[in-house]
């Protein structure tokens, strides 16, 4: 079933399976016997293929909105199973449906990589300098591809399952908006997604009702001053003092103007001003991220921040220019969809697989889909259970490949459970 020829590295694609010290998952790792029988049969005969697809995608990462080869590979694989993938008008990302009927649920995966240099030392490590799937999106892509092909092997489905392979999750405001504009959610009742979590043991899946990720905005503040000598700050506007006032004052004021239960936090990541120790600089720059897990708070943050900045800098005599770039909304799982997802997880892996999870301050553009249809987003365990938990977005991130198989089961069972609801 492996179809990697058009984008394969030099040599036999099977090298990605056999020429490695990383052990292969086995039949015992797929939860065989939980059914349906067509899924058990397809998985038991496809383990090597699933791992090959994952390792190939991992070795050939592409940055946001540049996922042309990944998109073509997916289209080729889906078409080989008799499906009809539709590539997004942007040329990256695609939509594909399995099944027939009036009812439709959606499953989503993101396909882009990060601008990082991989440092895992794996035999199938990234072959693209400065680009790596340290985000786990290669696993998400592989899981959804395998779920699509497994569903295509079913003798009959109780409705339609729409597979959304989305580009550009790692940039704001995110490729989810491109897919929505392309019609990805037309006729969809609910949508479900997974994200790798290196803090959860493989074989377990974390779920949560309510916010599971946060909104993430970018704040950029430029201050200006006539400049001058540090011996005469009273004759100018002390720009560095103004920067310090905003650095400490804005987060403090926000903590008294926003409900603390919302998980709202402003953290500065960049400060630039001046060179000489005895000169008041003429320009300064602050950049940071503003996050919240409350959708209503997110809607009000932009005017609130603007007013607070004005109140802080006006008495100091500096000029300012504020840029507030709204990012992605929080991912807020609705109760009914999360109940369906939990039922799918239990059906796929057993009750012991269910785990709770905390809200993250990280952003995830899956939230854009939930602005239109209900759904739920879960955290897929990828930690082997011993050793170091290698975190996401780090050059050393590495997952347990057994999670690919559990992820396929969860996605398939969740879709079937949603259509049967």
Q: What is the largest CA-CA distance in the chain?
A: 83
> Would you call 67 exposed, middle or buried from its count of C-beta atoms within 10 A (0-12, 13-18, 19+)?
buried
The CATH number that applies at residue 146 is: 3.40.630.10
What's the confidence (pLDDT) of residue 86? 98
The CATH number that applies at residue 279 is: 3.30.70.360
Return the structure tokens found at 172: 């704001």
pLDDT digits (tens, 9 = 90+) for 208-223: 999 999 999 999 999 9
Q: Starting from the edge strand earliest in sequence, which strands make up the sheet with 94-99, in order?
A: 86-87, 94-99, 160-166, 104-110, 190-201, 375-383, 205-207, 354-356
- Is 135 in the same domain as 234? no
**Where does a domain end: 281, 306, 328?**
328
The residue length of the chain stands at: 421
The mean per-residue pLDDT over the stretch 93-103 comes to 98
- Is 224 in the same domain as 209? no
pLDDT digits (tens, 9 = 90+) for 263-284: 999 999 999 999 999 999 999 9
- Is 311 in the same domain as 338? no
Dist. CA 90–CA 110, nearest whole Å: 15
In DSSP terms, 379 is beta-bridged to 195, 206
- Is 57 in the same domain as 45? yes
User: Is the pLDDT assigned to residue 7 strictly greater than 50?
Assistant: no
Dist. CA 305–CA 295, nearest whole Å: 16
- Is 100 in the same domain as 182? yes
In this prediction the pTM is 0.91
Q: Is the CA virtual torsion 410, 332, 174, 134 positive or negative?
A: negative
Dist. CA 5–CA 3, nearest whole Å: 6
Q: How confident is the model at residue 26 (pLDDT cuts 50, 70, 90)?
A: confident
**Where does a domain end: 260, 294, 328?**
328
The mean pLDDT of the chain is: 93
- Is 89 in the same domain as 191? yes
- Is 259 in the same domain as 345? no
Q: How confident is the model at residue 52 (pLDDT cuts 50, 70, 90)?
A: very high
- Is 192 in the same domain as 243? no
Q: How confident is the model at residue 33 (pLDDT cuts 50, 70, 90)?
A: confident
- Is 343 in the same domain as 322? no
- Is 126 in the same domain as 231? no
Distances (CA, A) of 270 to 216, 289, 310: 16, 10, 20
Q: How confident is the model at residue 2 (pLDDT cuts 50, 70, 90)?
A: low
Residue 278, domain extent: 215-328
Return the structure tokens found at 303: 């005017």
Q: How many domains does the chain have?
A: 2
Q: Which of 31-35, 284-288, 294-298 is the least confident region?
A: 31-35
- Is 208 in the same domain as 229? no
- Is 44 in the same domain as 63? yes
Among 405, 412, 411, 408, CA closest to 24: 405
**Where does a domain end: 306, 328, 350?**
328
User: Is the pLDDT assigned to residue 306 strictly greater than 60?
Assistant: yes
Q: How confident is the model at residue 14 (pLDDT cuts 50, 70, 90)?
A: very low
């Amino acid at each position: 079933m492996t179809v990697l020829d058009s984008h394969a590295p030099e040599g036999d694609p099977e090298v990605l399976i056999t020429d490695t010290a990383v052990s292969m998952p086995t039949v015992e790792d797929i939860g065989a016997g939980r059914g349906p029988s067509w899924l058990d049969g397809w998985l038991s005969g496809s383990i090597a293929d699933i791992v090959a697809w994952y390792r190939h995608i991992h070795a050939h990462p592409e940055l946001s909105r540049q996922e042309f080869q990944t998109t073509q590979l997916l289209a080729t694989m889906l078409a080989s199973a008799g499906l009809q993938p539709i590539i997004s008008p942007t040329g990256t990302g695609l939509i594909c449906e399995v099944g027939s009927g009036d009812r439709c649920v959606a499953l989503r995966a993101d396909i882009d990589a990060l601008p990082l240099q991989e440092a895992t030392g794996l035999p199938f490590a990234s072959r693209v300098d400065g680009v790596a799937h340290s985000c786990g999106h290669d696993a998400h892509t592989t899981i959804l591809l395998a779920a699509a092909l497994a569903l295509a092997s079913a003798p009959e489905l109780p409705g339609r399952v729409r597979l959304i392979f989305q580009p550009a999750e790692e940039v704001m405001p995110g490729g989810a908006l491109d897919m929505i504009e392309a019609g990805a959610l037309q006729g969809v009742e609910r949508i479900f997604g997974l994200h790798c979590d290196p803090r959860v043991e493989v074989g377990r899946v974390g779920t949560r009702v309510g916010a599971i990720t946060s909104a993430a905005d970018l704040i950029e503040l430029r201050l200006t001053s006539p400049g001058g000598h540090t011996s005469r700050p009273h004759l100018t506007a002390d720009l560095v003092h103004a920067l310090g006032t905003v650095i400490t004052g804005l987060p403090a004021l926000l903590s008294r103007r926003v409900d603390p239960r919302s998980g709202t936090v402003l953290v500065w990541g960049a400060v630039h001003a001046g060179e000489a120790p005895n000169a008041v600089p003429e320009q300064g720059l602050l950049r940071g991220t503003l996050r919240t897990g409350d959708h209503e708070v997110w809607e009000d943050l932009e005017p609130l921040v603007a007013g607070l900045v004005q109140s802080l800098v006006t008495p100091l005599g500096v000029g300012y220019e504020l840029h507030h770039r709204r990012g992605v909304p929080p991912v807020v799982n609705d109760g009914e969809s999360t109940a369906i997802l939990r039922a799918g997880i239990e059906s796929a892996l057993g009750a012991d697989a269910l785990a709770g999870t905390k809200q993250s301050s990280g952003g995830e553009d899956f939230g854009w889909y939930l602005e239109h249809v209900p759904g739920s987003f879960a955290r897929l365990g990828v930690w082997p259970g011993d050793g170091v938990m290698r975190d996401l977005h780090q050059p050393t991130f590495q997952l347990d490949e057994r999670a690919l198989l559990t992820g396929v089961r969860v996605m398939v069972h969740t879709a079937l459970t949603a259509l049967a609801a």
